[in-house]
């Protein structure tokens, strides 16, 4: 009696095989301890092409659009057909009595497995391995808590709906636009085309931007160390134009020079001083989008570079939890395991660790079961970094995630913003101009 385990990538399959004792190597698989572990290499199976669903759809004609399949058949991708045959043979081997879906724990991973399982004609019972990290302890716990495959039928249905939507939009609109605007192929996609439209709109805005030169007048009041600077502004323009516009003067410099001349050497008087207390809570934990945005802002990493680094930290180094998450919260059960994780990462940040880190309970800003979908926020794992050869991108991304978790125990950052308005001259004769400078 053997259990077949289908992973999504070779590296993940090897990690699972090592943990579960399947150490005998074979072509495209590992065996041992009652398991045979193989992998998918991404999408081995996809939706059939139009002409494979209906021969009448092979010619590209407007009259055939829209193409709306009555039956959604699958096809094996030819470039990986040999590997699909191997995986199908594992699934249908007589000694295999159960199957474990160990593809990535998310919508796309579920789709990859379901398409392979269906195309292979397998009908054996399926369990689902659902883990958020690939540490040995997480994998062992996942196998102890395997869930019935049927528990993920709704996730699979959502994945298939997305796959069919991609087909309907891509196949129909690509043909329609190519027939209308050809002769070159025009590729239209459910995601790629709106994304391209945003890029084009932004690029057009950049090209259409016209810089408008202007002048500002700055003045320094007092003497060091109590000196402060202020920018001239017109109080009458603030309400209608805003503070920034009210400080801008014509680019020819005539008015700016006039203001400079009448203010130089004059005494100023503070006519108003208003302060605002501000409090900023520690930032929420990372989901993939926020991690990509922050890595781009700090290091110039592209979204793909950040994802590649995070995936390597998850799959290869087992240093991060599952990165393809849209949640910025932790479940209560995961929050209860943070002590050993903090113990593993905190020593590298000795001076920045707040009291109670890893021991004091976190607030609902970080822990909320209702806001955790398929996966919790990205956090480090209990695996020590020592001895892990990380490339520069991986080291930066790992550092960001560690710091973001440790920030969760910090107190709110409190600041006071004070706005000072200084009038020059201190005393003005009736009808004489009085200039105002803003400092903040």
| Positions marked active-site | 322
∠ CA(320), CA(326), CA(332), 5° rounding? 70
Rg of the Cα atoms in the chain = 31
What gap in Å lies between CA 260 and CA 146, rounded to an integer?
76
| Strand ranges of the sheet holding 126-128, from the earlier edge strand across to the other edge | 24-26, 29-32, 35-39, 2-7, 96-102, 126-128, 147-148
Closest by CA position to 130, among listed 139, 119, 122, 121: 139
Residue of 36, 52, 20, 35 whose CA lies nearest to 88: 36
User: What are the structure tokens assigned to 361, written together?
Assistant: 């309970």
Q: Provide the CB-side half-sphere exposure for 273 (13 A, CA).
A: 4
Nearest to 328 by CA among 394, 379, 389: 379
91 backbone dihedrals φ, ψ, rounded to 5°: -60, -35
């Amino acid at each position: 009696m053997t259990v077949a385990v289908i992973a999504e990538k070779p590296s993940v399959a090897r990690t699972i095989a090592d943990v579960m004792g399947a150490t005998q190597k074979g072509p495209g698989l590992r065996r041992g301890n009652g398991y045979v572990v193989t992998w998918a290499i991404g999408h081995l199976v996809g939706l059939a092409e139009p002409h494979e669903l209906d021969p009448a759809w092979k010619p590209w004609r407007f009259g055939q659009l829209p193409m709306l399949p009555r039956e959604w058949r699958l096809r094996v991708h030819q470039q990986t057909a040999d590997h699909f045959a191997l995986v199908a043979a594992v699934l249908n081997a007589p000694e295999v009595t159960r199957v474990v879906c160990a593809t990535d724990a998310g919508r796309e991973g579920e789709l990859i497995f379901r398409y392979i399982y269906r195309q292979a004609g397998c009908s054996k019972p399926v369990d689902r391995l659902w883990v958020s990290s690939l540490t040995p302890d997480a994998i062992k716990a996942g196998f102890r808590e395997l869930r019935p495959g049927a528990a993920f039928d709704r996730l699979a249905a959502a994945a298939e709906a997305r796959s069919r939507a991609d087909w309907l939009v891509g196949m129909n609109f690509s043909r329609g636009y190519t027939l209308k605007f050809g002769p070159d192929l025009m590729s239209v996609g459910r995601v790629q085309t709106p994304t391209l439209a945003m890029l084009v709109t932004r690029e057009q805005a950049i090209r259409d931007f016209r810089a408008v030169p202007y002048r500002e007048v700055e003045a320094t009041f007092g003497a060091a160390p109590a000196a402060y600077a202020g920018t001239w502004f017109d109080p009458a323009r603030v309400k209608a134009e805003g503070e920034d516009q009210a400080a801008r003067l014509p680019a020819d410099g005539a008015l700016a020079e006039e203001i400079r001349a009448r203010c130089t050497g004059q005494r100023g008087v503070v006519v108003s001083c208003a302060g605002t207390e501000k409090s900023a809570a520690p930032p929420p934990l990372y989901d993939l989008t926020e991690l990509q945005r922050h890595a781009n802002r700090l290091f110039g990493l592209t979204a793909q570079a950040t994802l590649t680094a995070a995936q390597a930290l998850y799959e290869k180094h087992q240093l991060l939890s599952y990165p393809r998450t849209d949640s910025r919260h932790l479940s209560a059960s995961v929050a209860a395991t943070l002590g050993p994780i903090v113990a593993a990462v905190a020593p590298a940040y000795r001076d920045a660790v707040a009291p109670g880190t890893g021991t004091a309970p976190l607030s609902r800003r970080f822990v909320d079961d209702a806001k955790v979908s398929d996966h919790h926020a990205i956090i480090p794992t209990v695996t020590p970094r020592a001895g892990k050869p990380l490339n520069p991108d991986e080291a930066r991304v790992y550092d960001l995630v560690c710091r973001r978790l440790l920030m969760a125990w910090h107190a709110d950052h409190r600041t006071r913003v004070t706005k000072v308005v200084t009038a020059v001259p201190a005393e003005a004769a009736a009808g004489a101009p009085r200039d105002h400078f803003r400092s903040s």
